[in-house]
Structure 1
Amino acid sequence: MIKRFSEFCILQRAWVAGLIALITLVLSYFALHVEVRTIFEDMLPSQHPYVKVHEKFKDTFGGSNMVTIMLEVDKGDIFQPVVLEKVRTLTQELRKVSAVNAFQIVSLASKKLKEVRASTGGIETRPLMWPDLPASAAEYTALRDAVLRNPMVYGPYVSTDLKATLVTVDFIDRNVDYGTVFKEINTLVSKVNQDGAVKIRVVGDPMLYGWVNYYLPETVHLVALALALTVVLLFLLLRTWRGMLLPFLAGLVSAIWALGICKLLNINFEPLVIVVAMLITSRAVSHSVQIINRFDDEIKEIAAGKQTSRDAARTALMDLFRPGMLGIVADAGCMAVVAMSPIPMLQKLTVLSVVWVCTLTVSAVVLTPILLSWIRKPQGYAHPFDAVPYLRRFLDFAVFVATSRFRYGVLACSAIVMVTSGVYAFNLKIGDANPGSPILWPDSTYNLDSAAINQKFQGADRMFVVVGGDERDLVKRTEVLDSMNRFQRFMEAQPEIGGSVSIADILPVVNRTLREGNPRYQELGETQAVNGNIMATLESVSEPGDMDRFVDATNANAAVTLLFRDRQGETIRTAIARIKEFVAQNPLDGVSYQLAGGLIGVMGAANEVILSSQIEALALALLVLVVICTVVYRSTVAGMLFMVPVIISNTLTFSFMAWKGIGMNINTVPVAALGIGLGVDYAFYIADRIKEELAIGATPEAAIATALHSAGLGVVVTASVLIFSTLLWSASSLRFQADMGLLMAMWLGISAMSALFVMPAIIYVFRPEFIFGKPRHPAQALPLVLGTAH
């Protein structure tokens, strides 16, 4: 079947190439219009209980797209006209930002922060600083005193040293566009702080992913530079124009097809997954180079007049179709398991990746030999520098190691590496592994701003836990409020949680105010009726929406908002475990604690999904690989054999991630899944060439030597080229891309070394039947020996 297919492609090469060109031209139009942006809702596992709680209460208790702005002074305190004027301007102008939730803008200059006063004349609430700024020194002093008396402001919105204040704003999740919000807020901050009188710091997911979009032009330049370096190195090592242009063309065609098809499927392109795109493009280069190398092996026959370029191209296609397709199917199958995740972003990325990998069938496996068949004079080189002799010396060493007694040392070292790295890989963390965002460098503006805000305040990232049930006015019950209060104290014992806030904090302050400020009465009411009266008093002097951050409209549910100083995976897991511990040890009839909303809540949901599905996904990816190899080679031993380089490359890579503090999160999972297929591609070519040589009567030593000098040369060339190209990513302003570039380079290097040293040694020692064939009876082997001798 492969032979007939190869003959058809070469015989009808003009029609096949024309059809590919036509499809590429059509899809290029759609590829140019693919949408490049981050969609927040795609990053949430929508069916997870935490996300359901978040979606139900986010409009009341606050969403996960909150932006926090800190204004800080070096000298004096914030209670001076130049600072408070900026606070008021920011508060007012934020209403004009796209997708903003105008009811969730909170600052000293908003109507949300108020002071409750009681006197013989009655009870009143006044906004601390709205609508006008203080007009005199006495009014500034009064404002400072009011802030110091209010525990809901002093600490949460004004720092304890009085040198900084916060402005927080939330956005409507379904409407937010991170790039637009990022530009508008930065423009506003620059406009407000033209005189540089204060330091303004801004954090929040819209700003974080806005930075990703901000660096998109740089990312495009790095992609172009990496591709240029790839082309130059291919030209330098392969010394032919075909060796330079055809792999580049294979990568370009596959990219156009994949992006065009995804546009037709209405799938957006996430900026961070460009790493996955580069990884797949590297596979196109690899497959194309292998075919070119095999074509070059046939040049001697062409020079002798025994065959033409068409014959050589047909031979290359026919002989490399199976390992090429096996590598493509393995990559696609291993990547497809990511679709098991309930996170829409990963599901869309899976479709994009699988489509992209499958396009390599056309762009690399089929198109490359077709174009090679048109070469009229394949002999000769484009430049005099010849690196092949140096590469062959390295390959001679690989042959020596695989066929000498050192092969046992290779196998022993491989076993030790697998066990050691496998054990250390368990240190790999799920979620973010370091404070700040792992997407950006520690010294980036965003991470410095985040550290500064977390140092001055209780925490920039939030999780809300819903306490209540279906009963109206349930949260007015003293035992419920007392439980909330004890829950807050219990959670604040975790160092990473800087503080918390709930209605249980507000009612004692109001109760004290109603008792002429007597601190003895700063406590909850003794009965539900008393608490109800306090809450009713507070609501009577509040405006609509003022209580939304604390209780719902029926007072059936209340929010306990926890403020986090970092978003590390371990911090979130510890917090969730402590919440569950408190709930289990402090049950209340008819009252439930519902986890969990806000940014930290949805991050916890994503981490739990990744934690629960990652081992299953990796195991399933390995199973897919075993099944594919078993079916293709009709041997279960084949599946076990090809697992060895995969296990080596993955355990070493995961150990590297653990060592470098790269967590397994929503952005790194796809790279890990695709790495399983990446770890075995090179081994397919080596093993298949050994099998091919043995089938025509070569000795095991000769077969290994031929395979390493032919397919192995392609492995060395592609691995070297792609390792240098991916290392360029270390210059990226996005730490995630730099880390993934280093990870890809490491993956490519380990995969190449496994294919060149470990696989031949295993094959030579164990001599699997699917490669060597069934043992021949001496009488059956005699004619072959005689024929060979003749």
Structure 2
Amino acid sequence: MKDLTYTKLQNFVEFCIRNRVAVAGVYLLLTLVLTLFAARVHVKTVFEDLLPRSHPYVQVHERFQEHFGGSNVISIMLEVKQGDIFNQKVLEKVRKITNELPLVDGVNSTQIVSLASNKLREIRASTDAIEARPVMWPDIPKTQQEMQALKSSVLNSPLIYGPYVSRDLKSTLITVDFYESLVDYNKIFPQINKLAEAAQGEGVQVSVVGEPMLYGWVNYYVPETLHIFLFTIGCLVALLFLIARTWRGTLLPLLAGLTSAIWALGFASLLGFNLDPLVIVIAFLITARSISHSVQLVSRFGDELAAGAETTRAAASSAMLQLFKPGMLGVIADAGCMVVVVLTPIPLMQKVAVIGTIWVLTIAVSACVMTPVLLSWLKKPKGCAHPFDVSPLLDRVLTLAISVAASRWRYVVVAGAAAVFVGSGLYAFRLQIGDADAGSPILWQDSRYNQDSAAVNRQFQGADRMYAVFAGTKPDDVKEPAVLENMVSMQRFMAAQPEIGGSLSIADIIPSVNRILREDNPRYQEFGKTKNENGELFYMWGADAGESAQFVDAKFQHAPVTFYFKDHRGGSIRTAVQRLKEFIADNPLKQGSYLLAGGVIGVTAAVNEVILSGQIESVALALLWLVICCAVAYRSTRAGIFFMVPVMLSNTITFSFMAWKGIGMTLSTLPVAALGIGLGVDYAFYVVDGIREELHHHNDLKMAIQQSLRTAGKGVLITSLTLTVSVVLWLQSSLRFQAEMGLLMAIWLFVSAFSALFIMPAMVYVFRPEFIVGKRSESKYSTPAKRHRKVEDPAWECPTRAVSNKPGRSVAND
């Protein structure tokens, strides 16, 4: 069976090299066509892609968002440093912003609330009449007496004092919501910023928060992200050139990564997908895999030339034949780990999974096939491209790896890896699902958005909202005293959670109206005795259809209880949802039930729940896929378990680092984590397969490990070193998420490379798995066979040193 597979692979290699002109022509043509489509890909965030639409929270949110508030609410705070807001200068700024907000793209004009709107009302009662009127509309106070009357009205209204005017009277809030089908962050962000900047100054500080502004900042930094991406690629090229000392070792891996990106983006355009700025780091990660596979082939090509291959065509053919199997195994493993993300019911994740899988599969062509095909055209090198030789440093690392595997230190390495796995695995349970910081984890804590968020949360009840909707069994059920009392009880129960700054419902309005009707006597701060009386009290409040819609629907059958959050940490949200469920279970209502949960916090809760289940499912399926791939490739189920070691180790270390640094598992980190499983095993495939192939020619395990580390290990070391140094450059990004993902990639690459160079050879020597060493007697590993060749350090890609012995098997010369 092995001979048949080997023969088929050999025929395929010979076909590609023999027909290299046709193969290269087809590849070039496809690349040119897909380049045209790739140029049309839009880099933007689509909010609808972030929602798990099948989740009940999201369904509640989408059902009631137009009336009770969506997840795209923007809060604009005007704060004064001296005095209070009750002066014409500040109130004129409030009115100007309020009047100009309806001109912003996608705005829901019925959801604009401020002191200058007709939404905030006061009720005045006398023996002659009951009057409900806006506190400051359409004009601002012109005299000191009118200003004092406005101040008194605000202080006496619990719906204004606290929610829209801060307790110290130094800040006022303007809120606006948008139709979610019309949201365009690229349009909303500059328009809102223009209004805020116009109001800034003269002792007034303006802060703006909300999802449209957050993702607007993400889009704002897209040019910077692209510059960092290109700069990182430039540094990668420079490092490859420094280490490889040849143009082929520099340009061919770069070409493989570039063409893979073009193909993937071209397919994304054909499928109508956009490229979200938050997943650009994944694009770099997959591009790095393409470069890694190409470096392995170029490195082996140099080894074959140093070993005496007669022509570059023979060296390219031999390199492709030897590395095609581990290369394809790595590609298939990566693709399988990526495709499992499609099971996460979030459109963005599904798009990332599809395009990521296509991107990974293109590596099979761009690196595994085209790199050796292009190498076959090269002439034998006669010298180095530059005089700086770093190979002695790399030799020391490889020599150390060989020494560890061949000595008793291998037991220390295996035991140490087991200890680190257990320790990091236990610590990884501290990893937060959802945001781990009070501000947005997408941006740095000192960013303008997070500073504005902290300012709004300091002065007001909270910038983020979640609402639970009471759904009555029939119209007018909301008016029932028992229902209103239940709402008040829920608000009091939830107020015990520190992260909830306040709440609001129709139950806050009716008692206030009842009190005012009875000469403002606090004894009558209560609900009516019947539902008809409560309906009359709400009617007397005098709200128009647009204003009352945020408290109750037209039939008085559905009404929200809205909670304001000081932060949106994963733990805060889970606690709030759990407490809500606990209250609802302990306080049932015969008139109806509560539906969870709307608003940005409700949507975030849904996303976090999906991520929690999706992360476990993705990791489990990715590991299962890895076991299946290894079992098929090596015809041994033990192979899958063996290769899980570097995977589990790199993942537990990375997850424990995330827990330590407060990096939560969010939409953006989920696909990186899934792809990291494949990333953790690619290097091990090359090294272990090299050992296995060497043992086909002799029985000396020690020599096989040495040969594999000198050849495949060299490619691993070059790739991991260049990529690790390059991705650290992402730490300069203004987007905190990208910087942290760059750091996580560096950790993944380092742990994966260390596992491949030190842990896997040590495990092979200690456990001697049958799928690697075969069914040989123990004695054959202690004494080299007589036909063994003496092994010296092979030459690197640049043939500046003479090589007297062949480091590996050259198919061309066997």
TM-score of the pair, normalised by structure 1: 0.97
Aligned match of 1:99: 106
Secondary structure of 1:665's counterpart equals coil
Shift of 1:579: 0.2
TM-superposed CA distance for 1:65, in Å, is: 0.3
Instruction: Tell me, in whole angstroms, the C-alpha distance in 1 between the residues paired with 2:266 and 2:785.
Output: 55
Q: What's 1:613 paired with?
A: 614
1:633-712 equivalences under 5 Å are: 633-697=634-698, 699-712=700-713
The structural deviation recorded for 1:501 is 0.4
1:388-435 residue CA offsets vs partner (Å, 9 max, x unmatched): 121011100100101111111111101100100000000001000111
How far the C-alpha of 1:545 sits from its partner, in A, is 1.3
Amino acid at match of 1:578: R
Distance 1:385 1:519 in 2: 86
Alignment-derived partner of residue 507 in structure 1: 510
In the alignment, which residue of structure 2 is the partner of 1:735? 736
Indicate the residue corresponding to 2:265 in structure 1: 259
Q: Judge which range, 320-329 or 175-184, deviates more.
A: 175-184
Match of 1:216 among 222, 236, 243: 222
Residues 716-727 of structure 1 aligned to structure 2 (within 5 Å): 716-727=717-728
Aligned to 1:346: 349
The answer to whether the 8 A contact 1:309-1:378 is kept is no
Give the direction of change, closer, same or farther, for the CA distance of 1:383–1:230 in structure 2 (3 Å limit).
Answer: same
Residue correspondence of structure 1 range 362-377 to structure 2 within 5 A: 362-377=365-380
Q: Distance in 1 between matches of 2:710 and 2:136?
A: 78
- Runs of 4+ with >6 A deviation: none
1:789, distance to aligned residue in structure 2 (A): 8.9
Does 2:219 correspond to 1:197?
A: no
Instruction: Give the whole-Å Cα distance in 2 for the aligned partners of 1:75 and 1:766.
Output: 74
2:467–2:561 contact (8 Å) kept in structure 1: yes
- Asked whether the equivalents of residues 301 and 307 of structure 1 are also in contact (C-alpha less than 8 Å), the reply is no
| CA displacement 1:243-298 (0-9 Å, x = unmatched) | 11011101100000000001000111010101101110110111000000100001
Give the corresponding residue for 2:178.
171
| 2:486 equivalent to 1:483 | yes
Match of 1:294 among 288, 300, 303: 300
Secondary structure of the residue aligned to 2:741 is: helix
2:249 is the alignment partner of 1:243? yes
Partner of 2:762: 761
Residues 1:458 and 2:461 are matched in the alignment: yes
Query: Which residue matches 1:137?
Result: 144
8 Å CA contact 2:243–2:389 kept in 1: the answer is yes
CA contact (8 A) 2:58 2:606 kept: yes
**Correspondence list, 1:541-580, <5 A:** 541-580=542-581
The residue aligned with 1:27 is 34
Q: What is the CA deviation profile of residues 671-698 of structure 1, one whole-angstrom value per residue up to 9, with x for unaligned ones?
A: 1000000000000000011111111115
AA at the equivalent of 1:459 = G
Identity of aligned residues (%): 58
Q: What TM-score comes out, normalization by structure 2 length?
A: 0.94
Report how far residue 379 of structure 1 moved.
3.8
CA contact (8 A) 2:81 2:203 kept: no
Amino acid at match of 2:579: R
User: Which AA in structure 1 matches 2:333?
Assistant: A
Match of 1:420 in 2: 423
Deviations along 1:680-738, one digit per CA (max 9) or x if unpaired, are: 00000000111111111151111111111111111111111001100001111111011
Q: Secondary structure at the match of 1:168?
A: strand
Q: Return the letter of the residue paired with 1:284.
A: S
CA distance in 2: counterparts of 1:417 and 1:231, whole angstroms: 34
Deviation at 1:543, TM superposition (A): 2.0
- Report the alpha carbon displacement of residue 777 of structure 1 after superposing the two structures with TM: 11
The whole-number CA distance in structure 1 between the counterparts of 2:550 and 2:534 is: 18
Once the two structures are superposed, what CA deviation does each residue of 1:281-340 show, in whole Å capped at 9, x if it has no partner?
A: 1101110000001000011345xxx52111111111111001101111111101111111
Indicate the RMSD between aligned Cα atoms, in angstroms: 1.5
SS of aligned partner of 1:427:
coil
Contact 1:67 1:168 survives alignment (8 Å): yes
Provide the C-alpha distance between the structure 1 equivalents of 2:742 and 2:263, rounded to a whole number of angstroms: 24
Q: Partner residue of 2:808?
A: none
2:326 matched residue in structure 1 = 323
Contact 1:467 1:593 in 2 (8 A): yes
1:590 offset after TM fit, Å? Answer: 3.3
Between the aligned partners of 1:308 and 1:694, the Cα distance in structure 2 is: 26
Partner of 2:124: 117
Question: Aligned equivalents of 1:248 and 1:777: distance in 2?
Answer: 44
State the match for 2:807 in structure 1. none
Aligned counterparts of 1:291 and 1:211: Cα–Cα separation in 2: 41
CA deviation after TM superposition for structure 1 residue 537, in Å: 2.7
- Three-state SS of the structure 2 residue aligned to 1:542 is coil
Could you say which residue in structure 1 is the equivalent of 2:364?
A: 361
Unaligned runs of 5+ in 2: 1-7, 791-814
Per the TM alignment, residue 527 of structure 1 is displaced from its structure 2 partner at its CA by 1.8
Deviates more, 1:77-86 or 1:371-380: 371-380
Query: Which secondary structure does the structure 2 equivalent of 1:546 belong to?
Result: helix
Partner Cα distance (2:381, 2:389) in 1: 17
State the Cα deviation string for residues 461-511 of structure 1 (Å, max 9, x = none): 000110132310000000000000010000011000000000000000111
Q: Describe how 1:393-432 pairs up with structure 2 within 5 A.
A: 393-432=396-435
Amino acid in structure 1 at the alignment position of 2:246: T
Q: Separation in 2 of the partners of 1:564 and 1:787?
A: 75
In 2, the alpha carbon distance for the partners of 1:631 and 1:196 equals 72
Q: Which whole-Å CA distance do the structure 2 matches of 1:460 and 1:699 have between them?
A: 67
CA distance in 1 between counterparts of 2:643 and 2:296 reads 19
1:18 maps onto 2:25 in alignment: yes
Which residues in structure 2 correspond to 1:27-176 (within 5 Å)?
Answer: 27-176=34-183
1:284 aligns with 2:290: yes
CA contact (8 A) 1:104 1:169 kept: yes
Counterpart AA for 1:6: V
> Structure 1: which amino acid aligns with 2:743?
L
What residue in structure 1 maps to residue 796 of structure 2?
A: none
Contact 2:401–2:758 under 8 Å retained in 1: yes
Code of the aligned partner of 2:89:
V
* Cα deviation, residue 532, structure 1: 2.0
Match of 1:772 in 2: 773
Name the SS of the counterpart of 2:130 in structure 1: strand
- Equivalent position amino acid for 1:245 in 2: L
Q: 2:281 maps to which residue?
A: 275
Say whether the 8 Å CA contact 2:132–2:540 is kept in structure 1: no
Sort the Cα spacing of 1:698 and 1:523 in 2 relative to 1 into closer, same or farther, 3 A: same
Deviation at 1:380, TM superposition (A): 2.0
Instruction: Verify the 8 A CA contact 1:299 1:379 in the aligned structure 2.
Output: no
Are the equivalent residues in 2 in contact too, given 1:299–1:378 (CA < 8 A)? no
Cα distance change on mapping 1:620 and 1:355 into 2, 3 Å: same
Partners of 2:613 and 2:293 in 1: how far apart? 34
| Aligned twin of 2:594 | 593
Question: What is the number of residues matched between the two proteins?
Answer: 781
